[in-house]
Structure 1
Amino acid sequence: MGWRGILGCEYGIVQAPLGPDISGPELAAAVSNAGGLGLLRAPDWEAPDHVRELIRKTRSLTDKPFGIGVVLAFPHEENLKVILDEKVDVLQLYWGECTKELVKEAHQVGVKVVPQVGSFEEARRAVNVGVDAIIVQGREAGGHIIGQDALITLVPRVVDLVGEKDIPVIAAGGIVDGRGYVAALALGATGVCIGTRFLATEESNAHPLYKRKLVEYDQTEYTDIFGRARWPGAPHRVLKTPFFNDWRSLPPNENEVNQPIIGRSTVHGVEKQIHRFTGTVPNSTTTGDIESMAMYAGQGVGLIKQILPAGEVLRRLVEGAQLIIQRQCDAT
């Protein structure tokens, strides 16, 4: 059945590489130990020693496959060298060109390459360079969104594009429970990639207040008010917090530069000041005005009712999907 494994895992569930450091070794290992594919997130700057440390710490927590996500829009060459040297199971790529040369280099050391795409044309290019799977992100997703299409239209087109090739199509965007999982399978996907639901877990490195807001709030909005200077042209979906509602109409000529400092955080071992409208989400070390910081979330956030262990989230996803499919089989 459709919930069976992809990319060497027991189940077709991928935990999104939550940035900048929300999916650390504890979360990635917990997901992988439960039968899914946990993904670390590499820093958005060159930090090869830190990347090696992340990988090795995760290996100390799980003997199952796991991977690491790299945003190609930021400096990454030295980080990539370490990832390939450590022979991580999966290299997930986003927001940049996945080249044939990179895929070949990864395959030479046994690393699978999985880009995340937001359009049919991006998916076509990924197929042509020989990737191992494709994550198809719909506009329903939380965080930074690379395309404009919804999952219900984009996933079937990519599935048809892939055809008989052995390239799993993984749906991402707004999926938080077994119903969303089955819906993705009905569209032709082989698996699902889930971010917001794994944000709201015990092992997530998100700030406790951020986690509580994911349970408390049920509405999101597609915007560009956070991180305009650092990552221009990168719209995102966030929780509709009081802070966001107050500033949602931020003039297009304004950004985080010269804004007041509202907090501090240690991100991948580096101490950072957080200015108002900075796109960095609050992690467990963050201090200051947490409620005025970016809180990314997908459209499925209204279905999240409690903070759970990551393994329990995965178990409920699988059992929920199995139950729905079995009921449909029994009904026919």
Structure 2
Amino acid sequence: MGFLGAEHAILQAPLGPDLSCPELVAAVSNAGGMGFLRAPDQDRPEVVKQLIQRTRELTERPFGIGVILHFPHEENIKAALEEKVSALWVFWGEFPEEKVDECHKAGVKVVHQVGSVEEAVKAGQAGVDAIIVQGVEAGGHVRSKIGLLVLLPAVVDALQGYNIPIIAAGGIVDARGYVAALALGAQGVCLGTRFVATHESIAHPLYKRKIVEAKVSDTEYTDLYGRSRWRAPHRVIQTTSHELWKDELPADGTEVGQPIIGHTTIYDRDEEVPMFSGKVPNSSTTGDVENMVMYAGNGVGLIHEIVSAASVVKALVEGAQVIIQQQLGRMMDSSSSREGRPTMV
């Protein structure tokens, strides 16, 4: 098999808090990619085990689970290792060598998402099994301040000799982005926004529609949402309500005390959704969905329809093969043309 046991090095990002449900993850893995569940932002090992067990009912292929290191996570990781999930995805924090070794002893691979060369080198030194390089173009919470076009080759150069697969993330939604990432030195790609707009994702229908309708200029890098939980930049769709409210929240403000604009069920818990909350609307969400955060990367303008997760993987693989063959053909034609020209002296 190829990447971490999957046929193709095409990863579906762990979409939070619960959008990458077992159905989506299994669909990606069954199509030859590698799907990733998302662990809760609290230590809830029983939920982690339920998610993994449900996904195993839907696929025999490798899949993983993502953990945000900024939040309580020790029990969640312990549960993932006990379940012997194929891979653990970690992000937004340190994951030193002893933690990596613990995962390896349990037979679990480690994928570390980073947003800088320095983070990538630390992950390489810790002995992770793959590194995801996230450019500033990415949707959701964004670690990087640099575009993928520059950051990715810089990481590739810095990790020469480590023999660690490098995966590109940020604004990639189609085969053209896949091939571009390969040209920059990546061995594969990671997609988030494209998989939100699939049939299997449990994102709210309005959220999916906003992705499909968005233009390439319709995302914004901001820190407006979810400030009480973490003060970190994120990329969102510029909805009408976002444009209306983005300058209203004081610099030191949070969503605490803001009006409740809806309700949602995340995993098995009913929760209120305050204005400016970082809770994305899922299929259970009710209320003023238009005013809720909708994370998305710069690639939204290239997404024109809601499709199956399997068709996303297939289009990436087959499309990339066509592009590469076409480029090789052009190169061969160009070389033959030059060889037939008279030499200028």
TM-score, scaled to structure 1: 0.97
AA of the residue aligned to 1:323: V
The match for 2:341 is none
SS in structure 1 at match of 2:5: coil
The match for 2:246 is 248
State the 1:66 CA deviation: 0.2
State the 1:230 CA deviation: 1.2
1:197 aligns with 2:201: no
CA offsets 1:130-172 (integer angstroms, 9 cap, x no match): 0000000000000000120111111111111221332100000
Q: Which of the residues 140, 144, 149 maps onto 1:147?
A: 144
**Superposition RMSD in Å:** 0.9
CA offsets 1:100-159 (integer angstroms, 9 cap, x no match): 111000000110001100000000100111000000000000000012011111111111
Instruction: Decide which structure has the larger Cα Rg and report it.
Output: 2
Tell me how far apart the structure 2 counterparts of residues 152 and 216 of structure 1 sit (CA, whole Å).
26
State the 1:281 CA deviation: 0.1
CA offsets 1:4-62 (integer angstroms, 9 cap, x no match): 93111111100000000000100000000000000000000011111100000000100
Percent identical pairs in the alignment equals 61
Tell me how far apart the structure 2 counterparts of residues 114 and 317 of structure 1 sit (CA, whole Å).
21
Q: Report the number of matched residues.
A: 328
AA of the residue aligned to 1:240: Q
Tell me how far apart the structure 2 counterparts of residues 289 and 251 of structure 1 sit (CA, whole Å).
22
AA of the residue aligned to 1:236: H
AA of the residue aligned to 1:104: D
The match for 1:206 is 203
1:292 aligns with 2:291: yes
Output aligned runs, 1:219-298, within 5 Å.
Answer: 219-232=218-231, 234-249=232-247, 250-298=249-297
TM-score, scaled to structure 2: 0.94
Tell me how far apart the structure 2 counterparts of residues 235 and 5 of structure 1 sit (CA, whole Å).
34
Tell me how far apart the structure 2 counterparts of residues 299 and 6 of structure 1 sit (CA, whole Å).
26
State the 1:255 CA deviation: 1.6
SS in structure 2 at match of 1:273: strand
AA of the residue aligned to 2:238: K
Give the ranges of 4+ consecutive aligned residues of structure 1 lying more than 3 Å apart after TM superposition. none
CA offsets 1:59-107 (integer angstroms, 9 cap, x no match): 0100000000000111111111110001100000011111111100000
1:315 aligns with 2:314: yes
AA of the residue aligned to 1:222: Y
Output aligned runs, 1:62-141, within 5 Å.
Answer: 62-141=59-138
State the 1:226 CA deviation: 0.2
CA offsets 1:228-255 (integer angstroms, 9 cap, x no match): 11112x1100001001101122321222
SS in structure 2 at match of 1:7: helix
Tell me how far apart the structure 1 counterparts of residues 19 and 82 of structure 2 sit (CA, whole Å).
24
Tell me how far apart the structure 2 counterparts of residues 313 and 114 of structure 1 sit (CA, whole Å).
22
AA of the residue aligned to 1:326: Q
The match for 1:164 is 161
Tell me how far apart the structure 2 counterparts of residues 153 and 5 of structure 1 sit (CA, whole Å).
27
CA offsets 1:159-213 (integer angstroms, 9 cap, x no match): 1122133210000000000000000000000000000000000000101110011
AA of the residue aligned to 1:195: G
SS in structure 2 at match of 1:308: coil
Q: Which of the residues 10, 15, 39 maps onto 1:13?
A: 10
SS in structure 2 at match of 1:30: helix
Structure 2: gaps spanning 5 or more residues:
333-345
